[in-house]
Amino acid sequence: MLDYNALSALAAVIREGSFEAAARALHVTPSAVSQRIRLLEERIGCALVVREQPCRATPTGQHLCRHVDQVRLLEQQLREAVPGVGGADGARVGVPIAVNADSLATWLTPALAALTLTAPLLIEVAVDDQDHTAEWLRSGAVLAAVSASAHASAGCNSRALGAMRYVAAASPAFVARHFSAGVDGASLAQAPSLLFNARDALQSRWVLAVCGRHVDLPRHVLPSSEAFVTAALAGMGWGMHAQSLIKAHLAAGTLVELVAGTPLDVPLYWHSARAASGLLERLSGAVIAAAAAALLPP
């Protein structure tokens, strides 16, 4: 039998990124976490953690992280079906997922909130660019992810959700100041842009589509969908905004498109671990239904 305290320590280290953070999450000492993982590595016969900053799982560690999360879900499902199995009344099980910030800020959070009213789940969300959320699933840090990649990782399913529409927009004053002669490579190279993080490629993709070439963009980095909107309204820069997030501002004229009729549609997919539990399938169903109502057809 595997030591599930040790497996939980492994999953915590990968999710939190360090032994110290994992110890805080588990309410134990860092030395206890280190000892549990060392004994587990001796039992398995190979390294499970690459001790970098942040820590990451080896291929074997990835399998074990996914396994322990699936076991938690299966145990919760069993407690619901057979109350005599035990466990605290009203106990909930954590489900780690990775999503892009714009989905979280628009269509996804209401679906998660509604699900938690009827399912004994605690949703643990990691936020990253949609081009990179699948990496969290491959690493074993999460059980499911909203991703821009259609390709499913080993042991996972991939289902099309639809496309999220983005528009390049800024305040009227910003457009008048920086694009009075039109939007082209020269003006874009001078006008400050807004990026979610260093991985955010939406602005560059839109510029390539509109200008036909790469342009080095001056940029502010703001890792928040809401901050993007606030900064654009204040004239800080232009950015690629989820259309649903700024619909009212476009209608009111407080934000305007840089080039009318040039949206960027980003297909999204739901990746989830196979054969995890009925609870994960309920989560998948809620996410897929919410996407169908909010996104462009896949």
pLDDT tens track for 189-238: 999 999 998 889 999 999 999 999 999 999 999 999 999 999 999 999 99
> pTM (2 decimals)?
0.80
Flag whether 289 is in a domain: no
So what's the pLDDT on residue 102?
96
Q: Which of 1-10, 12-21, 100-109 has the lowest mean pLDDT?
A: 1-10
CATH of the domain at 178: 3.40.190.10
Q: Which residue type occupies 129?
A: D
Flag whether 232 is in a domain: yes
What does pLDDT average to over the chain? 91
Q: Report which of 57, 19, 54, 21 is spatially closest to residue 41, judged by C-alpha positions.
A: 57
Flag whether 30 is in a domain: no
Interatomic CA distance for residues 201 and 94, integer angstroms? 31
pLDDT average, residue stretch 53-82: 82
Flag whether 212 is in a domain: yes
Whether the pLDDT of residue 89 is over 60: the answer is no
Question: What residues contact 30, with CB distance under 8 A and at least 6 apart?
Answer: 19, 20, 22, 23
pLDDT average, residue stretch 135-146: 87
Q: How confident is the model at residue 276 (pLDDT cuts 50, 70, 90)?
A: low
So what's the pLDDT on residue 84?
62
Interatomic CA distance for residues 112 and 218, integer angstroms? 36
So what's the pLDDT on residue 90?
57
Residue 287 C-alpha from the chain's centroid: 13
Total domains present in the chain: 1
3-state DSSP assignment of residue 124: strand
What's the CA angle centered on 94, arms 88 and 96, to 5 degrees? Answer: 175
Flag whether 204 is in a domain: yes
For the chain, how big is the Rg over CA atoms in Å?
22
Structural domain of residue 201, as residue ranges? 164-265
Flag whether 144 is in a domain: no
Flag whether 9 is in a domain: no
So what's the pLDDT on residue 87?
57
Flag whether 278 is in a domain: no
